[in-house]
Amino acid sequence: MVDLTGLYTLLAGGVAARATADLHVDYHRPATSGPLSAHGQIVKIGRQISVAETRVLEPDGKLVASGRGAYFSSTGSIDQRGGTIDLEQALATQGPATSAAQSTTA
């Protein structure tokens, strides 16, 4: 959830993100209730690497997990020809690619 929220946050910000280069996740407490919400924020947009932070919260606002991901990026538009993720296709197949995502607990 942290990885995809970071990626979708960059895509929503217009970054042509390709893949995860590095990911660090801190687990703060067990997710005991749902749905969870994930909130992403762009930290840095670079020519080769872009960085996003994510916070995963329970419905009552308690922090469940947080993380930071570095993603391979490139300049130019977002399209599949360059091997990047097509934002409209990701939206159609994965749901909203906004800075907040939701998931239910298993």
Does residue 64 carry a pLDDT above 50? yes
At 70, phi and psi to the nearest 5?
Answer: -110, 135
CA angle 45, 81, 50 (to 5 degrees): 10
Which pLDDT does position 50 carry in this prediction? 96
Identity of the highest mean pLDDT range in 54-58, 81-85, 87-91, 92-96: 54-58
* pTM of the predicted protein model: 0.69
Task: Round to whole Å and give the CA distance between 12 and 95.
Answer: 12
DSSP string of 2-34? Answer: HHHHHHHHHHHTT-EEEEEEEEEEEE-S---SS
Encode pLDDT of 7-53 as tens digits: 999 999 999 998 999 999 999 999 988 899 999 999 999 999 999 99
Residue 88 C-beta-side C-alpha neighbours within 13 Å: 4
